[in-house]
Amino acid sequence: DIVLTQSPGTLSLSPGERATLSCRASQTISSSYLAWYQQKPGQAPRLLISGASNRATGIPDRFSGSGSGTDFTLTISRLEPEDFAVYFCQQYGNSRYTFGQGTKLEIK
Amino acid sequence: EVQLVESGGRVVRPGGSLRLSCAASGFTFDDFAMSWVRQAPGKGLEWVSGINWPGDSTRYADSVKDRFTISRDNAKNSLYLQMNSLRAEDTALYYCAREGGAYCGSASCHNVGMDYWGQGARVTVSS
């Protein structure tokens, strides 16, 4: 099974700063099947990015995704207070989904 | 407005059974595959099971295979998860999620991922 490893585990930044979150796959995956989700405390996850780089409906353009092969990145260009949350990457392959363990983005 | 509402979560003894339901509205239910995803307290997300739109193809995580059964009733716009032989490690918040399918732009196609989620049903397995 494909394992997704996210880094760092926790990222401490200030509003206005740039955030770079990494997701590394244990083997090459199709970028078409790589997604990113945001989860705030007490809420369900929300789809941010699909196909590695396509923003979901209503997602601000400060969120961007990139990468291919085994290395993928979620970038938040200028952090807003509402962006502090946990972020998960996800891949689909062999008829099953796998999630990374998450990166917690906290206010510094 | 797309809505997914889970129900059926409760406290159950180890070895017991439980059936979760997810009522869908605001979209054409039988156009979409659906999944169940769970989250143990303080932990990350774990995909549990998925089903295609007609309901004749199902997928399971190894951790629940042969114990859980996913099904759907398109006439009732409902998704189900039958959970048998429950274990303490099945304790989690169970989300139902719509699989958005494929989106094709001018140059390429990609998988949309899980574009809508319910608020979850809490399952606690404890004696």
Q: What digits encode the pLDDT tens for the residues A21-33?
A: 999 999 999 999 9
Q: What digits encode the pLDDT tens for the residues B81-109?
A: 999 999 999 999 999 999 998 888 888 88
Residues 20-59 of A with CB under 8 A from B: 31-33, 35, 37, 39, 43-47, 50-52, 54, 56-57
Q: Considering only CB atoms, which chain A residues are within 8 Å of B108?
A: 32, 51
Residue B106 amino acid letter: S
A62 touches chain B (CB under 8 A): no
Q: Considering only CB atoms, which chain A residues are within 8 Å of B59?
A: 95-96
* Rounded CA separation B65/B50 (Å): 12
Q: A33 phi and psi, to 5 degrees?
A: -115, 25
Indicate if the pLDDT at residue B3 is higher than 90: yes
Q: Which residues of chain A have pLDDT under 70?
A: none
* Rounded CA separation B95/B48 (Å): 10
